[in-house]
Structure 1
Amino acid sequence: MRLYKKCLHCGKELEGRTDKKFCDPQCKSSFQYQKEKERPERFYNKVDNQLKLNRKILKEYNKGGKVTVRAEMLLKLGFDPNFFTHYWKNQKDDVYLFVYEYGFLTRKENGKEKYVLVIWQDYMIKNPKQSKIN
């Protein structure tokens, strides 16, 4: 007695074992891929994808080591300042948020929000105020 009469992916008539669900490995793979695509994205994937995007944007805009850019430019590209890997506080108590080796500091200048972009420096690790989020 056959459990499935047709391939779950393409609908072809099945031959062979009675518990067969797919006509070939490609249909099985395609079926699993479609099924996985329909599931909501897992939290870990959302965080990881946003961190990767943030790093890519910061890297693209920080070619000189220290740059100031309008926040709206980065936000339009999908940058989300709530996703970062660690922070560093300087002696003036400015808190730089970092996405791996690329950091940013939020500033208001002339009523507009801006980001000061920096790259991680060796001296930052020696600062006792530097901390990482676990």
Structure 2
Amino acid sequence: MKRYNKSGYATIRKTEIVSKGFNPKFFTHYWKNKQGNVYFFVYEYGFLNIKNNGKDKYLLVKWQSYMDKS
């Protein structure tokens, strides 16, 4: 995920990252935001399932200090 998320926030098609060996079933922890969205993390990089323009994608994020407080 680090490769696709250089800025700390990115969107990528699921097929693209899965074809490179990413397995969304394996994660180290999760974080739920105030809107109820659950982000799954592999160490400091997280992902959220989204649909954008009819395509299945992942919103990629990097762990932030404010996430410790939720």
Matched positions, count: 70
- Kindly, what percent of the aligned residue pairs are identical? 59
Q: Which runs of 5+ in 2 are unaligned?
A: none
Structure 1 letter corresponding to 2:6: K
Structure 2 letter corresponding to 1:86: H
Q: Which runs of 5+ in 1 are unaligned?
A: 1-57, 128-134
Q: Deviations over 1:87-121 (max 9, x none)?
A: 00000000000000000001012221100000000
2:17 is matched with 74
Cα root mean square deviation, aligned: 0.6
* Structure with greater strand percent: 2
Q: Deviations over 1:69-94 (max 9, x none)?
A: 11110010011100000000000000
Q: Deviations over 1:41-72 (max 9, x none)?
A: xxxxxxxxxxxxxxxxx011000110011111
* Structure with greater helix percent: 1
Q: Which of residues 49, 61, 68 in structure 2 aligns to 1:106?
A: 49
3-state SS of 1:77 partner: coil
Normalised by the length of structure 1, the TM-score is 0.51
1:83 is matched with 26
Q: Which has the larger radius of gyration?
A: 1
Q: Which of residues 45, 52, 61 in structure 1 aligns to 2:4?
A: 61
CA distance in 1, matches of 2:53, 2:7: 23
